[in-house]
Chains A and B, each alone.
Chain A
């Protein structure tokens, strides 16, 4: 593979991505015209006259021909303008982007949980086939891909929060970055050492528990585990079967015969070749991750894009509905393109296709 062909491949994918995003915008825009209900009904004052209703429709530009509204909407989007939210006195884009970090944080945390647990588990499971750890991993991944994550979240709340009071049941606390900044600002190593030396365990725990970063971690743990379990299970499964495949191949036997160390054989060669198809599937499943985030947010009252979308749908706040859907759709396309790029980098054959 040459750098040029990789570059061309990425450029092609980027152009495709732009077209798909355009399609996403178009579909989202048309949604308003194919679903029942007049937006004005939802926003007009209760005793609004027909005249006021007309003025509202005119003010929002809803009385113009569809194609004019469409072009206007596209032009607005290019300037980052998604219109004004009907239900709050703010720009839809401001609301959407205010909620996005919470969702991204949740998705990233879930991915971190999933990757950190699943790949080692899959590898161990494959290399110790038919041992208890393999059966355990297989059972876990089977149940993991079969469990509705909202129910899993509720069960975690039931066990860990309600029964033992270990974690908060909902909401986000501060975001990650403010939590880090807050912790750095107030952390007092001297006090920690002092408490530790004096063996005041309870006071030490109380102090540590109040640190913003710990609070952040406490809030995100259950949602991240809830959202991450499906992916942990899925990737474990894929890694295991991929590793089994690779380990059975002739080049592995050849490497072993050459006397290469087993760890090198396993982790350098077999695992590397296993990862490419795993990444493909994970890329395809990104949508599931985002969809799962929506419902996880609902379970944990996590103030993200999903919560905002459901609320907007219920109130028919079209600028917010459109804005949230477009950001979700476009976000998926962008991330998916990046996954493609990563895959192309790991496995040059992709480019040739």
Chain B
């Protein structure tokens, strides 16, 4: 009989501490990481970009010059610094009961108040871009965590027990794979609806940044759904790792001395699979950030502070105010480039033998 009872205790309880242990990587690995980092300018660039993004996200209230949701309707569509422009302002006027169209040409000047300009409701683009980093990174990291937790559990189970369980789990993974993650995510979020969670902002609570939003809105449905649609990649990697170690001598030895399946999987199989899982997780954070932005772009999001949301808004103003859609996109590209560079660095240094898996944009 297979011992399935450890499934009842989520990996979260025991395994997390083991995971930390496992992350104490071997000296050789650490050396590889260091050498590769020194050698590669791209790795440095990637780490730099990610550190920047993380700092921006963490200290958003302190860094943003304005409250990102504050509107100033009179100052709508101000251009970024250096892009002063002439515009035709068309208004309507009631003349003798019929509407006449009046055109006026005027200069719109950028201001240091809003270095990246303002959007259609006069909100500060710089502040919105800064806060957008929070949404992207939180969804990316938590979403990846959910995908990894679920996928790795399934994959280890399938690989370790093989046989019928493996067949069943892997066939269901095949079914999952048949749905592009964006399609499945759109369907799930669209049908379930967007719920969100408001988290108090510690900066505002501590009275450091009184003008900033008191709470930060986490798109709850989106986080869970992006996790659930991406577990398959983790399952595949974990399974193949588990398959490859299950016939190793030390596993047989452990079994011979009467170690439980749960013990063997969490103590021996998981730690040996950790390297490729880390590399995959890195790539997945990038994929999920792209997925979140796509969902927000399509209007399936629980928050209005998202790069994808701003792109959707700005898209309607392409012919008059190009920056509204452009700036958040640049932020996404920089963040994702950073993550991909770090992924490349880890892959080159750890050589986990996976190539190119993970979702795309």
Contact = CB atoms under 8 A, between A and B. Distances in A.
- Please tell me whether chains A and B touch each other in their complex, using a CB distance cut-off of 8 A: yes
A237 to B, nearest CB: 8
A108 interface: no
Given A35-B192, A234-B360, A292-B361, A24 B178 contact: yes
A347 to B, nearest CB: 15
Interface string B335-356: 0110111000000000000011
Contacts of A310: 186, 190, 298
Contacts of B60: none
A328 interface: yes
A158 interface: yes
A322 to B, nearest CB: 10
Contact of A20 (B171, B193, B311): B171
B181 interface: yes
Contact of B183 (A158, A162, A325): A325
25 contacts: A20-B171, A27-B175, A142-B340, A145-B361, A146-B336, A147-B329, A147-B333, A150-B361, A154-B325, A234-B356, A287-B179, A287-B359, A288-B359, A289-B180, A291-B181, A291-B183, A294-B183, A295-B182, A298-B298, A309-B183, A309-B187, A313-B186, A321-B191, A328-B179, A328-B180
Contacts of A16: 174
B180 A291 contact: yes
Given A31-B191, A149-B361, A158 B178 contact: no
Given A294-B182, A295-B298, A151 B340 contact: no
Interface string B264-306: 0000000000000000000000100010011001100000000
A154 B186 contact: no
Closest 7 CB pairs of A and B: A291-B180, A291-B182, A23-B175, A288-B360, A151-B329, A146-B336, A287-B180
Given A291-B182, A291-B360, 9 more contacts: A36-B192, A143-B333, A148-B308, A149-B361, A150-B293, A157-B318, A238-B355, A294-B183, A313-B186
Q: Is the interface of A mostly helix, strand, loop or mixed?
A: helix
Contacts of B186: 294, 309-310, 313
Nearest to A284: B357
A147 B339 CA distance: 12
Given A287-B177, A291-B182, A291-B183, A162 B294 contact: no
B186 to A, nearest CB: 6
Contacts of A151: 293, 297, 311, 325, 329, 332-333
Interface string A117-152: 000000000000000000000000011011111110
Interface string B185-213: 01110111100000000000000000000
B172 interface: yes
A290 interface: yes
B13 interface: no
Contacts of A330: 178
Contacts of A291: 180-183, 359-360
B290 A148 contact: yes
A31 B336 CA distance: 32
A24 B179 contact: yes
B183 A154 contact: no
Contact of A321 (B187, B329, B361): B187
A147 B361 contact: yes
A290 B183 contact: yes
Contacts of B188: 35
Interface string A12-24: 0000100111011
A284 to B, nearest CB: 7
- Most chain A CB inside 10 Å of its own CB: which residue of B42, B172, B286, B290: B290
Nearest to B191: A35
Given A154-B315, A295-B294, A146 B333 contact: yes
Nearest to A21: B178
Contacts of A285: 356, 360
A223 to B, nearest CB: 14
A145 B360 contact: yes
B82 to A, nearest CB: 18
A281 interface: yes
Nearest to A329: B178
B308 to A, nearest CB: 7
Interface in A260-295: 277, 281, 284-285, 287-292, 294-295
A162 B320 CA distance: 10
B215 interface: no
Given A146-B286, A154-B329, A230 B187 contact: no
Contacts of B311: 148, 150-151, 154
Contacts of A237: 356
Interface centre among B178, B180, B294 (most CB of A within 10 A): B178
A155 interface: yes
B264 to A, nearest CB: 26
Contact of B182 (A145, A157, A292): A292
Contacts of A281: 355-357
B190 A313 contact: yes
